[in-house]
A and B are shown apart, each in its own frame.
Chain A
Amino acid sequence: MIRIIIQFFTIFVIYLIGNLIVTWLHLPLPGAVVGMVLLFIALLLGICRVTWVERIAQLHIKHITLLFIPSIIGVLRYIGIFQTEGLKLAVILIASSLVVLFVTAYTAEYYENKKRRK
Chain B
Amino acid sequence: MKLSAEKITRNYFRQGKGTNFFTAVAPVDFTLEEGKLTELVGRSGSGKTTFINMLAGLLTPTEGRVLLDGRDLYAMDDNERSAVRSGSIGVIPQGQTGLQGLTVLENVLIPSAMYGGSKTKTELAHKLLEKMGIDDLCDVYSNELSGGELRRMAIARALINEPKIIIADEPTADLDDDTTKQVMELFKSKATEGCSVLIVTHERESMKYADLIYKMENGKLPKE
A and B pair up: no
Q: Enumerate chain A interface residues (CB-CB to B < 8 A).
A: none
B residues near A (Cβ < 8 Å) are none
